Amino acid sequence: MEDVDTESFDSDAASSYTNNENMKMKMLKMKIKALEEERDFLRTTITQLTGQRTSSGPSPSSSVGDNIAKLEDQWDDSSDSSSSDSSSSTDSEIEKKKKNKQKKKKNKNKKGKKETKKGRAKTPEDILRRYKMVLAAYKRKGSMAAAFQTVGVDRNTVAMSAPLAEIMIAAPEFFKKQPAFECGNDTLNQYVRRITKNATAEVSNVIKEKKKQNELLPITYTFK
């Protein structure tokens, strides 16, 4: 049996391994070089394209930015105009409301004065007319105070003359038999007192019944 030269075998194996490693290193260097060349090419291309866009006109991003700025300016102008119109409209409405309020107040004062003049009774017929106005207002409002305010007279004035109006409404036949009012001989208050004192118990009962039925004002007055 022949002896094998182990040293020669090991040497050949080591040499083969070294060659393989060298080949791998060489291939890696080639790949790296190719990648670097491709990188440089891409950089050059990008630089050229960028230069062309700059020389030919504004970039799309710049153009878009300008358009946005213009739209913002238009929006600001529109907002200012709208705000100005709204402010003018508001001022006009406030002024209009103020004038209407003053006009209503003025008319109310005139109406109050007119009603006060109307409330001044000079004859028995005036007393009856005023009493009926207060009675109608009371039925609508449900309040004596509101009725007096609506007609424009005070409670005491109506109360002092109410007995005569009640007789004229509840007992018209009895009233016709009474002496007529003469302006030159006595005052209206004196006439009211005289007719009220002449009223019979029957007339007083009719008046009380009508008050219960809400046909007369719930008001009483006692002469001193």
For 138-170, the pLDDT digits (tens) are 999 999 999 999 999 999 999 999 999 999 999
5 CB contacts (<8 Å, ≥6 apart)?
Answer: none
pTM above 0.85, yes or no: no
Distance CA 82, CA 59 (A): 35
Cα–Cα–Cα angle for 205, 207, 211, rounded to 5 degrees = 115
Note the pLDDT of residue 71. 54
SS (H, E, C) 124-157: HHHHHHHHHHHHHHHHHHCCHHHHHHHHCCCHHH
Query: Structure tokens of 169?
Result: 């409404």
* Cα separation values, 213 from 129, 165, 176, 186, 190, Å: 20, 17, 24, 34, 29
Confidence of residue 76 (pLDDT cuts 50, 70, 90): low
Instruction: Count the Cβ atoms, other than its own, within 10 Å of residue 119.
Output: 19
How far apart are the two ends of the chain, measured CA to CA in Å?
Answer: 170
